[in-house]
Chain A
Amino acid sequence: MSDSEEHHFESKADAGASKTYPQQAGTIRKNGYIVIKNRPCKVVEVSTSKTGKHGHAKCHFVGIDIFTAKKLEDIVPSSHNCDVPHVNRTDYQLIDISEDGFVSLLTENGNTKDDLKLPTDDSLLTQIKDGFAEGKDLVVSVMSAMGEEQICALKDIGPK
């Protein structure tokens, strides 16, 4: 490996702490993530257009806020940088659902994590609660980005 790419291939040691990363707008694709109006979004549509016939390309993004599901849009010249959120997902085993709407989760190192609230939306809530009530062994995936977290998926791992 030559020196020039060393810099590129290895990420800086302190970069892990950053909540967002800059990335050229042209490289952001459908199904990727982007920050629009300071919200982390999943990109559901990208289109490029030109500014005038002999101008440069621009990207038009339609994103859906990964936490609130609100639709957001942005237009950025394709050679400029956009912020891309650092989206992390962690799996936890679901231990308990408390009355006040919090869940109790088992972390990898054996501790519990009790600060996560259940979603407020009814249908999501019932999906989680019903599964739990049936006594299945549930693993929940918790998605976190830019200081927020939310349950994004659940999975039955119990024996049949």
Chain B
Amino acid sequence: MQGFPERGGPGPGPGPNDLAHLQATMHTIELACASIQMHINPAAAEATILSLCQSPQPYKSCQFILENSQVPDARFQAAAAIRDAAIREWGFLTADDRRSLLSFCLSFVMQHASSNEGFVLAKVSSVAAQLMKRGWLDTTAVEKEAFFNQVNQAVLGIHGLDVQFTGVNFLESLVSEFSPSTSSAMGLPREFHEQCRRSLEIDYLKMFYCWARDAALSVTNRIVESKSEVPEVKVCNAALRLMLQILNWDFHLNNNSVKTSINVFSAGARLDIDSSKRSECTLVQPGPAWRDVLISSGHIGWLVNLYAALRQKFSREGYWLDCPIAVSARKLIVQFCSLTGTIFLSDNGQMHEHHLLQLLSGIIEWIDPPEAVAKAIGCGKSESEMLDGCRALLSIANVTTPFVFDRLLMSIRPFGTLTLLSTLMCEVVKVLMSTYPEEETWSWEARDILLDTWTALLVPLDSTGGNAMLPPEGINAAGNLFALIVESELKAASSALTDDVDGDYLQSSISAMDERLSSYALIARAAIHVAIPLLTKLFSERFARLNQGRGIIDPTETLEEVYSLLLIAGHVLADEGEGETPLVPYAIQTYFTDNMGADEHPVIVLSSSIIGFAEQSLDPKMRASVFSPRLLEAVIWFFARWSCTYLMNPEEVRETQSQDHQLQSQQLRKGLHSFFREHNQGKLVLDIIVRVSVTTLLSYPGEKDLQALTCYQLLHALVREKHICVHLVSLDSWRNLANAFANEKSLFLLDLAHQRSLAQTLVHSASGLINSEASNQYIRDLMGHMATYLRELSSKNDLKSVAQQPDIILLVSCVLERLRGVATASEPRTQKAIYELGFSVMNPILVLLEVYKHESAVVYLLLKFVVAWVNGQISYLEAHETAIVVDFCMRLLQLYSSHNIGKISVSLSSSLLSEAKTEKYKDLRALLQLLSSLCSKDMVDFSSDSIETQGTNISQVVYFGLHIVTPLISLDLLKYPKLCHDYFALLSHLLEVYPETVAQLNSEAFVHVLGTLDFGLHHQDAEIIDMCLRSLKALASYHYKETASGKTGLGLHAAGHKDSGGNLQEGILSQFLRSLLQLLLFEDYSPDLVGSAADALLPLILCEQGLYQRLGNELIERQANPTLRSRLVNALQSLISANQLSSTLDRINYQRFRKNLNNFLIEVRGFLRTM
């Protein structure tokens, strides 16, 4: 690699020798650029360019190249090199150097404004912006003023259009550099970026905006008047882009002005949830200071007129719908729609409304009348304007209430905005229906944006849960729209039959569809009085059709329609619970109040008709002809969702409602709720649901998806509530299920994970039994057979040969998975039975582990059962039980280890080998989880006596376990992220909580553990490094404290010893001090880690002061440059002495040291890493 020796910083003009040297450098770089372009030895060429970036003070060469080279790529690289070098060496450049670099860059772009190599200019301009930012906090306001004056002159257009364009572009780079999300890394703490951001926002942003506006204004007339494209368009476009960028700025000051100090970590996240209904939508909230510029000065009017004038020109030469200036103008208009907050006077929203109306009057041209617009697009017009119109509606919807939204349009059209929105969407849906199922078209995008708009309008505004009510006209519009949507979905469903949808695609589109359906549901609930009867009618039509046509016509089309209807009905009637009990949707609660009779209540009618339909699946004939697995999937899904909300809703009345509401809704509840409650239809419905579930498990062999829905969604949801369990356990159908589970062969044919889940569900349902005794007995009855089976199998004489038979393997796997399911469902009430269950199979487990040592799939199940069992039991166990369990775990670990240590799989197939490795990884992860569970006994213990009474010491047990497990964990296996995470989590926990026991590990195990720690320190994942640093801190501070009080601490491990070859090995603390310093000074790591690194470094330094001095001296001696050397000396000195750092390990001292280390790294890392 070539270097570029330089002679000091920028000095007097180049002498003849210098000139020759500069030319040589330029030539080298040009050559390298050329060879990269032509792919001749690109690696060497890149190295050449890199060496320019990394050489000390390459500025003169770079400037020379920029000014003289004919190769644009070379100039580009030179600019990049200036940036890299200057950011790196900033600390020891003189103020003059800094200034001259900056002004060089700026005058370069200004002088070459007319050149046509835009990318070089853009690069130099961004370099200037970065240099500007780097020095921002050290530059006085006066200096900045002088500098920005030049920029202003350029932006005003005094030096011509090209310079004006360049000036605007420079401001764009500057703003993007100061905005945290787009800033480039400078190796400085986050506070720096945050301070720059604040400063720019307070003092300059508005000024820049005005400049951009003035620049745009200055050329507007030329553009509007001219008949064809003029060069001014370029400037205007750049100015519009800059304005858009400034409006995209994440304004903070007005929102959280009370905040005194900057919290750099949360400053990025908006806390004002109230004002933003949807997280994805960015609101523009610049605050009152911007009112004069944006609102009162007629700025909006100008912008809207500008675009209107552009629209006139679209037929002319040089302008079209998607030409850059039109696109920028539209984007800016849409952005203005999101303007909100304190920029508007608090005059009841009048000013805001006026602002929106002004915008809307321009936007309306893009989307109204919808039929004509859609038709024009169908004939080939570009859809971008229409889509932008939709986006504008979305933005407006995000900052207004439905009422205001609707009223906006009233003054300029005979209908409200909601009606427009509805007709617009109807048009889009019509287009969708006619083009379905072809590939994605504009109508998809339009539909998604418009759906978002509806969602923004209809999602509850406040936490009280009340939906925003629409004006009557809007309700009708929503009703019409919903009818059309359902029609289109049904059509799509029946027509999509013919096309072969590929499975993966289907999976990925399901979540998208879910989101879409929940938006539909919002629309339906807005017009609930129409929506539910409509659904009821559509359902009954289709049920009738199915019954009439049985065996005569092909039902597939109707089935598909019923499928879609079930999904829609599920979304309309009930919300997704996500683990909570969802309430009856507000719209349904409030609307149907005058419907007194339970039989007429629309919701009850609809629900009953669906339940009645599902009940028919119990009839084998119907099942064969109508209930395909897919249809039943929809039924089960519907049941799961519906029953969470409606089935046996507990008798509570929310007190949060206002008085008159309460009266109304109580009456409603009488009708709706009690209908499906215990003493009414509730039990009957529950019975139907259970019977249908059992049917899916028994009569649909091999239909995994269907059974998964039944097991995970429906049955899990049923047993979540205790009051439902009470009824469940009294049902014959539920008893049949439990019986079938214990005895029936066909349930052993379910997917293993499903069996586990079923076991869990059944055990959970035991909470519905009268008392703990009954619950325990229930579990014994349920699982007794299986435990006996394992015991009998393990005591067979011919076990070894029998066990390998595939049918036995399958059976053992099933039983183990069921046991694991039971174990995960541990509750205090059933703990006793589950402990006994596990206890009775402890020996069989060990026998099976031996027998199946080559059958990794079974071994994994064995381990997972033990993990689940121990995890569920450990905190309840009494001392003698704990001793038994601990002993069992240790035997298990030893057995596993003896089978696997030193084992090498031999196979031709690389995929089988990697499978084998993955299996090993999963096993080890399970073992680590086992150890972690054991660890928790020391934290959470509900037993009556202390475990010490039996002589069990958890820390020793876990260390012993770790001792067995760690040799199995190779560094290779630690590449599995989850294993790595678990391992280090356990290790750091152990070291932090029980450092004293670590000294008891023998030296081989100890070295292995610490070897992995060293590995972890150099890991990619910051969290892992953090855990390792915590472990180090724990180790070192333990040693320091112990030795300070005269004990041995880590003893031999820390002292260093001679290895077998007679070489002196350093003690482990010395090794870590060395490698941690190496890491901190010379390697890459996330700045977030500096804090924890400081915590680890301080005790290490205190333990090994002599070594620290030695390492420091080595560093100093290596430094040739005297200025840098003295800086290093000072920095090393103040690292351990500044801020009254003392030699104790208390909180305050750690804090001080963190500060010291931060300063130290800022001071020296820059030059240490590069020189």
Contact = CB atoms under 8 A, between A and B. Distances in A.
Nearest to A42: B912
Contacts of B909: 64, 69
B854 A153 contact: yes
Contact of A64 (B497, B630, B856, B912): B912
Interface string B881-905: 0000000000000000000001111
B854 A27 contact: no
A7 to B, nearest CB: 8
A49 interface: yes
Which label, helix, strand, loop or mixed, suits the secondary structure of the A interface? mixed
Main secondary structure of the interface of B (DSSP, over half): helix
Contacts of A85: 806
Interface string A24-37: 11110101110000
Interface stretch (B23-31, B700-708, B1054-1062): B700-708
A79 interface: yes
Given A2-B743, A47-B503, A11 B802 contact: yes
A80 B701 CA distance: 9
A21 B905 CA distance: 26
Interface in B533-579: 556, 559-560
Nearest to B902: A156
Contacts of A26: 701-704, 749, 751
Given A55-B628, A86-B804, A127 B907 contact: no
Interface in B653-710: 701-705
B785 interface: yes
A21 B559 CA distance: 38
A151 B905 CA distance: 9
B702 A69 contact: no
A53 B556 contact: yes
B912 A49 contact: no
A47 B504 CA distance: 11
B810 interface: yes
Interface string B623-664: 000001111000000000000000000000000000000000
A65 to B, nearest CB: 8
Contact of A59 (B503, B556, B702): B702
B805 interface: yes
A50 B507 CA distance: 13
Contacts of B804: 86-89
A4 B906 contact: no
A47 B808 CA distance: 24
B911 interface: yes
Interface residues of A, number: 61
A107 interface: no
Contacts of B810: 23, 27
Contacts of A124: 906-908
Contact of B811 (A9, A25, A121): A9
B855 to A, nearest CB: 8
B919 interface: yes
Contact of A53 (B497, B704, B915): B497
A139 to B, nearest CB: 9
Contacts of A86: 804-806
B788 interface: yes
A20 to B, nearest CB: 8
Interface residues of B, number: 50
Interface in B803-854: 804-808, 810-811, 854
A79 B701 contact: yes
A1 B911 contact: no
Given A42-B912, A55-B628, A64-B909, A31 B805 contact: no
Nearest to A121: B908
Nearest to B555: A54
Nearest to B626: A54
B905 A152 contact: yes
Contacts of A152: 854, 905-907
Contacts of A32: 857
Interface in A1-16: 1-2, 4-5, 8-9, 11, 15-16
Contacts of A25: 702
Contacts of B704: 26, 48, 57, 78
Given A54-B630, A78-B703, A153-B903, A21 B807 contact: yes
6 contacts: A16-B802, A29-B751, A32-B857, A79-B701, A153-B905, A154-B904
Given A4-B743, A16-B802, 20 more contacts: A4-B744, A4-B745, A11-B805, A16-B805, A21-B807, A23-B810, A24-B701, A27-B752, A31-B919, A42-B912, A44-B911, A50-B630, A53-B556, A54-B629, A57-B705, A64-B912, A85-B806, A121-B908, A124-B907, A152-B854
Interface of A: 1-2, 4-5, 8-9, 11, 15-16, 20-21, 23-27, 29, 31-33, 42, 44, 47-50, 52-57, 59, 64, 66, 68-69, 77-80, 84-89, 119, 121, 124, 127-128, 141, 143, 151-157
* 7 A-B pairs with least C-beta separation: A78-B702, A26-B702, A54-B628, A69-B909, A69-B908, A84-B806, A79-B702
Interface of B: 497, 503, 556, 559-560, 628-631, 701-705, 743-745, 748-752, 785, 788-789, 801-802, 804-808, 810-811, 854-857, 902-909, 911-912, 915, 919
